[in-house]
Homo-oligomer: A and B are copies of this chain.
Amino acid sequence: MKSDDLPRGIDRRALVSNLVLLPALSTTLLSSPAQAQTAPTVPLASWNDGPAKQAIIDFVHATTDQGSPKFVPAEDRIATFDQDGTLWVEHPIYSQVMYCLDRVPDVVAAKPELKNVEPFKTVMSGDREAIAKLSLPALEKILVATLTGMPVETFEANVEKWLATAKHPRWKRPYTDLTFQPMQEVLQYLRDNGFKTYIVTGGGQDFVRVYSKRVYGIPPEQVVGTMGGTKFGYDKDGKPFLTKEPKLLLNDDKAGKPEGIHLMIGRRPHAAFGNSDGDREMLEYTGAGDGARLKMLVLHDDGQREYAYGPAQDLPASKVGTFTPELYGEAKKRAWTVISMKNDWKRIFAFD
Q: Residues on A close to B: CB < 8 A?
A: 75, 152, 196, 205-206, 209, 213, 219-221, 223, 227, 229-232, 239-242, 249-250, 255-256, 258-259, 262-267, 281, 284-285, 288
Known contacts A213-B75, A229-B259, A259-B230, A220 near B285 by CB under 8 Å: no
Taken together as a complex, chains A and B put the C-alpha atoms of A96 and B221 apart, in Å, by 26
Known A-B contacts A232-B255, A249-B249; the reply to A240 vs B75 at CB < 8 A is no
Copies of this chain present: 2
Chain B contacts for A249, CB-based, 8 A? 249-250, 263
Distance in Å: Cβ of A4 to nearest Cβ of chain B:
12
Chain B residues whose CB sits within 8 angstroms of the CB of A75 once the complex forms: 213, 219
B206 near A266 (CB under 8 angstroms)? yes
Q: List 9 A-B contacts (CB under 8 A).
A: A196-B221, A205-B266, A206-B266, A221-B267, A229-B259, A229-B263, A231-B259, A232-B285, A249-B249
Contact, CB under 8 Å: B285 / A221 = no
- Report the separation of the CA atoms of residues A288 and B239 in the bound assembly, to the nearest whole angstrom: 7
Complex Cα spacing A265 to B265, Å: 11
Which residues of chain B have C-beta atoms less than 8 A from A239's C-beta?
Answer: 288
B267 touches A220 (CB 8 A): yes
A240, B284: Cβ atoms closer than 8 Å: yes
Compute how far the CA of A232 lies from the CA of B283 in the bound complex, rounded to whole angstroms: 13
A336 to chain B, nearest CB (A): 14
Given contacts A240-B285, A240-B288, contact A265 B220 (CB under 8 A): yes
Q: Which residue on B lies nearest to A222, using beta carbons?
A: B221
A153 (CB) vs chain B CBs: closest residue? B268
Question: Measured between alpha carbons, how far is A301 from B242 in the docked complex, in Å?
Answer: 34
Contacting pair B230 A262 (CB below 8 A): yes
Q: A75-B219, A230-B259, A232-B258 are in contact. List 16 more A-B contacts (CB 8 A).
A: A75-B213, A196-B221, A205-B263, A209-B266, A221-B267, A229-B250, A230-B262, A231-B259, A232-B259, A232-B281, A232-B285, A240-B258, A240-B284, A242-B262, A249-B250, A249-B263
- Across the interface, name the chain B residue whose C-beta is closest to A232: B255
Q: Contact check, A221 vs B266: say whether CB atoms are below 8 A apart.
A: yes
Most buried by B among A221, A229, A241: A221
**If A220-B266, A263-B230, A266-B223 touch, does A258 touch B285 (CB 8 Å cutoff)?**
no
Minimum CB distance partner of A244 in chain B: B262
Chain B residue nearest to A212 (CB atoms) is B266
Contacts of A250 in B (CB 8 A): 229, 249
> What is the bound-complex CA distance between A288 and B233, given in angstroms?
12
List residues of chain B with CB within 8 A of the CB of A259: 229-232, 242
Min Cβ gap A209→B in Å is: 5
Q: How far is the CA of A223 from the CA of B263 in the complex (A)?
A: 10
| Inter-chain contact A242/B229, CB cutoff 8 Å | no
- Alpha-carbon distance between A249 and B259 when the two chains are bound, in angstroms: 12
Residue of B nearest to A250 (CB): B249
Contact present for B223 and A152 (CB under 8 Å): no
Q: Bound complex: CA of A284 vs CA of B264, how far in Å? A: 24
Is the beta-carbon distance between B265 and A221 smaller than 8 angstroms?
yes
> Could you say which residues of chain B place their CB within 8 Å of the CB of A288?
239-241
